[in-house]
Chain A
Amino acid sequence: MPLDRPLHLILIENEAMDGRAIDGKTIVRACAGIEIACELTCFGDGQEALAALRGDFGAALQMQPFLILLDLNLPQMDGIDFLDELRADPVWRRSIVFVFTTSRQDADKAAAYDRRVAGYLVKGEHSFDYSALCQLLEVYEKSVQFPTV
């Protein structure tokens, strides 16, 4: 169902960790090209993201459809620890989370799906298919009833 509010993308990743960060601005630009309105907020690690969700940022976000894009390799609190915290939280456990990472390891995939991510996306060494991501976001935006937390 087309949303009356922009889709809020929450990107949790740290470029310094592996230097192959997804460029949030590129996602937003590509989405604008296919007429999805989205808003973007970036966090550098899991702790920072959790603190924001549990604070004023989270209070405002509760009024908006949102998706989390989560890298696994993060300083302080990595992606899997973040997922453990998120899934134990009475409110934010409802979040839709896509992992994106350079890791193709089955162990990482299993750890992420055990914490019930919506999907596990692998970014290549040098590239990431932004148009496929935007297509997925577009069809999500059109068809999915987002969690109201």
Chain B
Amino acid sequence: MSLSRVHLILVEDDEVDAEFVVRVLQRSGIDAPITIFRDGWDAQQALRGAQRERLAACPLIFLLDLNMPRLNGLEFLDYLRSDPQWRSAVVFVLSQSERREDVVAAYDRQVAGYLVKSHMGDDYSLLPQLLVSYCRLVALMPKRV
């Protein structure tokens, strides 16, 4: 599946981090649309409500921070896994935390991969590399009807 057919959802409360991630992805030629939510709560509201249909139009890949106000990453994952429309979504955690409890808790909720921000390389280049090689090989979820 080509990355241009994917919609990337970045859930990140740190504005500077979010802008940085978007810049890195765009600079590496990734042309997928990217939507940013500032925390789990905003993302949940959008997925439940007004934007539900728009977001269901093409396969989603989530890049999810863990430590966020209002609704944190793990709480958001619990919501996602409980909603029949989104329970099968592909989620990569993108967090500062290297704590074993966080890694285990994320994989308990079956994320596709747990990424530690400080391990993404000096210029964060591992993130676009991961997304490009993932989308090159993986057939994503068909649209639910």
Which residue of chain A has the shortest Cβ distance to B103 in the bound complex?
A145
A148 and B120 alpha carbons, distance in the complex (Å) = 20
A interface bracket (residues with beta carbon within 8 Å of B) = 20 to 34
A142: chain B residues at CB < 8 Å are 126
Partner of B113 from the list A104, A106, A114, A144 (CB cut-off 8 Å) is: A144
User: What are the interface flags for B21-58 relative to A under an 8 Å C-beta threshold, 1 for contact and 0 otherwise?
Assistant: 00000000000000000000000000000000000000
Partner of B139 from the list A120, A136, A144 (CB cut-off 8 Å) is: A120
Q: A94-B107, A114-B87, A144-B113 are in contact. Are A109 and B129 (CB under 8 A)?
A: no
Q: Give residues of chain A (83-119) contacting chain B, Cβ–Cβ below 8 Å.
A: 87, 93-96, 98, 104, 106, 109-110, 113-114, 116, 118-119
B110: chain A residues at CB < 8 Å are 87, 93-94, 116
Partner of A140 from the list B104, B120, B130, B140 (CB cut-off 8 Å) is: B130
Q: Are A135 and B133 in contact (CB under 8 A)?
A: yes
Kindly state whether residue A53 has any CB partner on chain B within 8 Å. Answer: no
A119 and B116 alpha carbons, distance in the complex (Å) = 20
Q: Are B133 and A1 in contact (CB under 8 A)?
A: no
A55 and B119 alpha carbons, distance in the complex (Å) = 33
Kindly state whether residue B90 has any CB partner on chain A within 8 Å. Answer: yes
Q: Are B88 and A122 in contact (CB under 8 A)?
A: no
Partner of B115 from the list A95, A116, A144 (CB cut-off 8 Å) is: A144
Q: Are A96 and B112 in contact (CB under 8 A)?
A: yes
B87: chain A residues at CB < 8 Å are 114, 116
Q: Are A144 and B88 in contact (CB under 8 A)?
A: no
Told that A94-B104, A120-B138, A145-B113 touch, could you supply 14 new A-B pairs with CB distance under 8 A?
A: A94-B110, A96-B113, A109-B139, A113-B88, A114-B87, A116-B87, A116-B110, A133-B137, A136-B134, A139-B134, A140-B130, A143-B129, A148-B100, A148-B104
Residues of B bordering A, CB below 8 Å: 81, 87-88, 90, 98, 100, 103-104, 107-108, 110, 112-116, 119-120, 126-127, 129-130, 133-134, 136-142, 144
Closest 4 CB pairs of A and B: A116-B110, A94-B107, A113-B88, A118-B112
List, sorted by A's number, 29 A–B pairs whose CB atoms are closer than 8 Å. A1-B116, A1-B119, A87-B110, A96-B107, A96-B113, A104-B139, A110-B88, A110-B142, A114-B88, A116-B81, A116-B87, A116-B110, A118-B90, A120-B138, A120-B140, A121-B137, A121-B139, A135-B136, A138-B133, A139-B130, A140-B113, A143-B119, A143-B126, A144-B113, A145-B103, A147-B103, A147-B107, A148-B100, A148-B103
